[in-house]
Structure 1
């Protein structure tokens, strides 16, 4: 395990196209699998401050369940309103069946 990375879940816990809300320390993180890739983004929508992990995952995006803003999983950028600000993205490592996340943001 690399320094700075924390085990957050098992790969087998993640749906093929879905999200799991976890906390790294006190930071809410959505661990998301889409199109065979695993991403970690802030679990708090930049528009309405609700959990993104409860939204729909499709084609490399996650949709906020409250108002329908979609965010790119790779960059955290919103791709439609009402959200206008990106959410933070975090580095992910896979070690066997373990999913590890570093809170050193890649974006955001």
Structure 2
């Protein structure tokens, strides 16, 4: 499968996330300042969409219980979550955002 286009950069709000589908996987494309990240759109604690949460300081916060995850590593940075979520390679080509879900950056298999 490799890299697939999931959205345009303009669709991703500054300091927020956008829910997209890559293959058969839901992914949150998060923008923190000038950086863009791809993280599985599923909180490992409550199994709700992370894309509905807030993005700040290279973290995304789950809207339901406040769990936070590092956008680079997928590791939880705030309870109640204790398990990481998958992060994926991402490329911005011009105004297009591409994600590769065939491999994870952090070795955590998508659920």
- TM-score, reference length from structure 1: 0.95
- Structure 2 match to 1:66: 64
| Structure 2 SS opposite 1:105 | coil
- Structure 1 match to 2:93: 95
Output the aligned Cα RMSD. 0.9
Shift of 1:63: 0.2
Moved over 6 A (4+): none
The unaligned stretches of length 5 or more in structure 2 are none
Shift of 1:35: 2.4
For 2:87 and 2:32, how far apart are their aligned partners in 1?
Answer: 15
- Structure 2 match to 1:55: 53
| Structure 1 SS opposite 2:78 | coil
- Structure 1 match to 2:105: 106
- Structure 2 match to 1:11: 9
- Count the aligned residue pairs: 106
- Structure 2 match to 1:83: 81
| Structure 2 SS opposite 1:39 | strand
- TM-score, reference length from structure 2: 0.93
For 1:10 and 1:80, how far apart are their aligned partners in 2?
Answer: 30
Which has a greater percent of strand? 1
Shift of 1:16: 1.2
For 1:80 and 1:15, how far apart are their aligned partners in 2?
Answer: 23
